[in-house]
Amino acid sequence: MKLVVASGNPGKLREFGELLAPLGWDTAAQNEFGIPECGEPHCTFVENALTKARHASRLAGLPALADDSGLCVHTLDGAPGVHSARYARTSSDESKSDTQNNERLIAELAGHSDRRAHYVCSLVLIRHAGDPQPLIVEGEWHGIIIDAPRGTGGFGYDPHFLLPDIGLTAAELAPAEKNRRSHRGQALRQLLARLRTCADTGEFSG
């Protein structure tokens, strides 16, 4: 099945490519079709993911896969949440910056002892732009936020996202290990399980 991935984020595209490779799917990023990123106006991950999927599917004329992901910090009432990619932006035309987002996050957490946080990935797959029954799954990845960044892999908040059970940040994990553990990897495995069930019943075809 050929599908368009509704993202322009190089980190996400790389991870999706690695995770989907075993399926042999023919995937293409939306920018290969000249499709611009659409807005993310909603306050929930799933609504934003569905909006992005419908936007890409309509313009590409293909099934579409989209996610909306972010970091939710307990003591900050779930922030940065759906604003994770643009947490430090002060104007709509300002470019996204992982460094600035991380700097703001650490500043907001100054004086807080509760550093619990979790990544969220809402993943949506639609057959066509008007699909009345999209496949929707969600994954979570729990950890704590540390002040000093560690590691050079990953992207976003990964250098500050520590996994207490192994003592490493997300940015210190090998790609295969990150995919095994991550919110995006969890969501995609759920999606694949759903697709297998749908294939058995004939409920999903591209």
Q: Distance between CA 70 and CA 104 in Å, rounded?
A: 15
Q: What percent of the chain has pLDDT over 90?
A: 67
Domain-embedded: residue 206:
no
Q: Distance between CA 54 and CA 59 in Å, rounded?
A: 9
Q: Tens of pLDDT along 106-124?
A: 999 999 999 999 999 999 9
CATH number at residue 72: 3.90.950.10
Element (H, E) at 162: strand 161-163
- Kindly report the number of other CB atoms within 10 A of residue 123's CB atom: 26
Q: Tens of pLDDT along 52-81?
A: 999 999 999 999 999 999 999 999 999 999
What integer best gives the mean pLDDT of the chain? 90
Is the distance from CB of 206 to CB of 2 less than 8 angstroms? yes
Domain-embedded: residue 122:
yes
Domain-embedded: residue 101:
yes
What was the pLDDT predicted at 201?
64
Domain-embedded: residue 192:
yes
Element (H, E) at 3: strand 2-5
Active site residues: 68
Domain-embedded: residue 171:
yes
Domain-embedded: residue 149:
yes
Q: Distance between CA 113 and CA 140 in Å, rounded?
A: 22
Domain-embedded: residue 186:
yes
Per-10-residue mean pLDDT of the chain, 206 residues long, equals 84 74 79 90 96 96 94 98 90 75 97 97 95 95 98 94 97 93 92 76 59
Between the CA of residue 48 and those of 19, 26, 53, 55, 72, what are the distances in Å? Answer: 22, 24, 9, 11, 16
Which domain does 181 fall in, by range? Answer: 2-201
What was the pLDDT predicted at 107?
97
As given in the structure block, the two tokens for residue 129 are: 């732009």
Split into its structural domains, the chain has a count of 1
